[in-house]
A and B are shown apart, each in its own frame.
Chain A
Amino acid sequence: MKKLIYRLGVSAALFVSALLIENESVKLILFIVSYIFAGGDVVKRAVRNISRGNVFDENFLMAIASIGAFLIGEAPEGVGVMLFYQVGEAFQSYAVGQSRKSIASLMDIRPDYANVKIGDELIKKDPDEVKPGDIIVVKAGEKVPLDGKVTEGTSMLDTSALTGESVPRKITVGDELLSGCINVNGVITAEVTKEFEESTVSKILDLVENASSKKSKSEQFITRFARYYTPVVVIIAAILAVLPPLVIKGATFSDWIYRALAFLVVSCPCALVISVPLSFFGGIGGASKKGILVKGSNYLEALSKTEIAVFDKTGTLTKGVFNVQEVHSIGMSEQELLELTAYAESYSNHPISLSLKRAYDNDIDNDKISDVEEISGHGVFAVVGGKKVLAGNDKLMDRNNISYSKVEQDGTVVYVAVDNVYAGYILISDEIKEDAADAISRLKQAGIRQVVMLTGDTKTAGESVARKLGVDRVYTELLPGDKVKIVEELIGEKSATGKLAFAGDGINDAPVLARADIGIAMGVLGSDAAIEAADIVIMTDEPSKIATAMNISQKTSKIANENIVFAIAVKVFILILSATGLATMWAAVFADVGVAIIAILNSFRALNVKNIK
């Protein structure tokens, strides 16, 4: 790269001095030397590529255009074409290099070593060689090399490389430790739970490295365009050089060959072809800075055309953490009712049961419980301290002929009967995420026609959440299999070019993620199944990041389209001017290199996501 810049500098100096010198033969020699400095390698490559059967490549075209200019006595143009063509090429590889660097900094999360504790000794090992069950120590400032569970120590963890979240997270004994994070202070000892290959950091690196192997529609369009553009322009150039002088009276070969050579200058499509993937690469890079990983430029492009956004409720729009909201007892204290219910449900690991145990917040004495019977789809029966406790939904009460009053409230209601007498109910509900409503209103602003929510919850609970969030349509009481069917129906409702995006937390919804045009998995730090099934992975659990991703995708697509329209328009304009003899070769080469540089600079904007919420 540096060598090329020196060469071009020498060439440019020789070129300028040639322009200033009066003596014609010295002038020509200086032009030729300047040309060799600027384009010797291009000519060499052109010759070599022809011998390999690769005609019509840009080396060949530029060599013909510039040598042709020399032959018709326009030496300055010949040098100028080559010089500026090379400047454009140098700028292109600079741009690609810059873009790669921005991704390389993302790759910085790769850990170099792990401190493995063997006996009392710490041994530095390659993360590849560490096995699950090994004990590792992460010191302050080090990267967490493998996924594990903290066994000793408390510290703050910088997760920004993974999540884009700048506030450090506190971790302590028993917490899950994710590879790729940086330990800010304190020393942590942890037991490794996954091999390096399976660890979060490997999964993410793999995802980033293999991103954009799937190409967007605009990339496909531009490569197809380039495939026909060059041969067509070359053929027209050949016709221009020969036909008019033979047909039109007074037309000279030198004039028309000059026009044809100007044509060849504009025939190289490379800048056009590179500006589009460069835009998407920038968009993908920018998104990853925000903790949004996109698996290919096709998905980033598709996201900008989303018409229908479908959300899973639990874990996506709500926190997926159930909490006891209300205890309503009859004939006993609230604490007593909670205690009996928590005991009765103590054998279950259902989120509802867990929330009851959490709310009770005392030790459960297992000796007090007997005859536990789970009644699937209804609830549970147990004898607690000699009392017969029934806890479950309305169906359980109906089944046991217990008279109770139905409660119409958001959330899940657990009815309780003690010794066959109704004793009250406990209301449990999930909390809506802070940014959920904002996410939905921003998605609508970004042009989404319909926001749909799917949930396995009851009608009352689901509809109440939907109302609070401003969701347009809600499907409730779904079984896991129903979700795919509904998404398929909704896909039928969108327009031909529109897309449907589905966002879920990645638990149990891999088939839906796969079926939607764009599957978005969120809050998946640690869940590799979701990382694999989704097209877009959001590292945090904020639904508002989906709106962010949508804004980034719209900006990126717009930049790519601007580049396509602008570059093609300028090229066609110059072709027309050259054909009619209004544009000189100078104008052609300036316009061509200029367009390339402007398009590339424009594509750099895609990487800048600072101001995108």
Chain B
Amino acid sequence: MKKKFILEGLDCANCAAKIEREISELNGVDSASVNLMTTKLFIEGDEEKMPEITRIAEKIVNKYEPEVVFKKA
């Protein structure tokens, strides 16, 4: 399944790349991509693991960009 999130206030390209890489290496994630321009995060992965993935993804976003607001889209 594919999920979409908004990373409000995301400004830094390098951080976006780090976030994208770390989330795509998570267990159960097939692919993850961060679009800096539309400030969107797409995660594709196992349906049953999604709640856990979402939780960790939010943590990762927070680690690199504490100012960014993680929202469900």
Flag whether B5 is at the interface (Cβ < 8 A): no
Chain B residue at smallest Cβ distance from A96: B11
B66 partner residues in chain A, CB cutoff 8 A: 45, 48-49, 52
Docked complex Cα distance between A99 and B36 (Å): 11
B14 partner residues in chain A, CB cutoff 8 A: 58, 223, 226, 269-270, 273-274
Flag whether B26 is at the interface (Cβ < 8 A): no
Nearest 8 pairs between A and B by C-beta?
Answer: A274-B13, A273-B13, A223-B17, A281-B37, A93-B11, A270-B14, A273-B14, A213-B33
B15 partner residues in chain A, CB cutoff 8 A: 57
B33 partner residues in chain A, CB cutoff 8 A: 213-215
Chain B residue at smallest Cβ distance from A274: B13
**Which positions 48-73 of chain B face chain A at CB distance < 8 Å?**
62-64, 66
- 12 sampled A-B residue pairs with Cβ under 8 A: A48-B66, A52-B62, A100-B37, A100-B38, A103-B38, A209-B38, A209-B40, A212-B38, A223-B17, A270-B12, A273-B17, A274-B12
Flag whether A54 is at the interface (Cβ < 8 A): yes
Assess whether B40 is in contact with A54, with CB atoms less than 8 Å apart. no
Flag whether A519 is at the interface (Cβ < 8 A): no
Assess whether B13 is in contact with A213, with CB atoms less than 8 Å apart. no
B64 partner residues in chain A, CB cutoff 8 A: 49, 54, 57
A211 partner residues in chain B, CB cutoff 8 A: 38
Assess whether B17 is in contact with A96, with CB atoms less than 8 Å apart. no
Assess whether A212 is in contact with B63, with CB atoms less than 8 Å apart. no
Beyond A54-B63, A213-B42, whether A99 also contacts B17 by CB under 8 A is no
CB distance from B7 to the nearest CB of A (A): 13
Assess whether A277 is in contact with B36, with CB atoms less than 8 Å apart. yes
Docked complex Cα distance between A327 and B27 (Å): 70
Task: Known pairs A52-B62, A99-B37; list 5 more (Cβ under 8 Å).
Answer: A54-B63, A210-B38, A213-B33, A223-B21, A278-B37
Chain B, residues 14-32, CB within 8 Å of chain A (1/0): the string is 1101000100000000000
A103 partner residues in chain B, CB cutoff 8 A: 37-38
Flag whether A460 is at the interface (Cβ < 8 A): no
Flag whether A92 is at the interface (Cβ < 8 A): yes
CB distance from B58 to the nearest CB of A (A): 13
Assess whether A213 is in contact with B17, with CB atoms less than 8 Å apart. no
**Which positions 447-494 of chain A face chain B at CB distance < 8 Å?**
none
Docked complex Cα distance between A48 and B64 (Å): 10
Picked from B11, B12, B38, B63, the residue with its CB within 8 Å of the CB of A53 is: B63
A223 partner residues in chain B, CB cutoff 8 A: 14, 17, 21
Chain A, residues 290-313, CB within 8 Å of chain B (1/0): the string is 000000000000000000000000
Assess whether A270 is in contact with B13, with CB atoms less than 8 Å apart. yes
Picked from B21, B36, B40, B62, the residue with its CB within 8 Å of the CB of A96 is: B36
Chain A residue at smallest Cβ distance from B42: A213
**Which positions 196-217 of chain A face chain B at CB distance < 8 Å?**
209-215
Chain B residue at smallest Cβ distance from A226: B14
CB distance from B26 to the nearest CB of A (A): 16
Assess whether A213 is in contact with B36, with CB atoms less than 8 Å apart. no
Docked complex Cα distance between A3 and B40 (Å): 26
Docked complex Cα distance between A57 and B13 (Å): 12
Chain A residue at smallest Cβ distance from B73: A209
A209 partner residues in chain B, CB cutoff 8 A: 38, 40
Chain A residue at smallest Cβ distance from B33: A213
Chain A residue at smallest Cβ distance from B20: A223
Docked complex Cα distance between A52 and B62 (Å): 9
Docked complex Cα distance between A318 and B21 (Å): 46
CB distance from B63 to the nearest CB of A (A): 5
A281 partner residues in chain B, CB cutoff 8 A: 37
Chain A, residues 66-102, CB within 8 Å of chain B (1/0): the string is 0000000000000000000000000011001001100
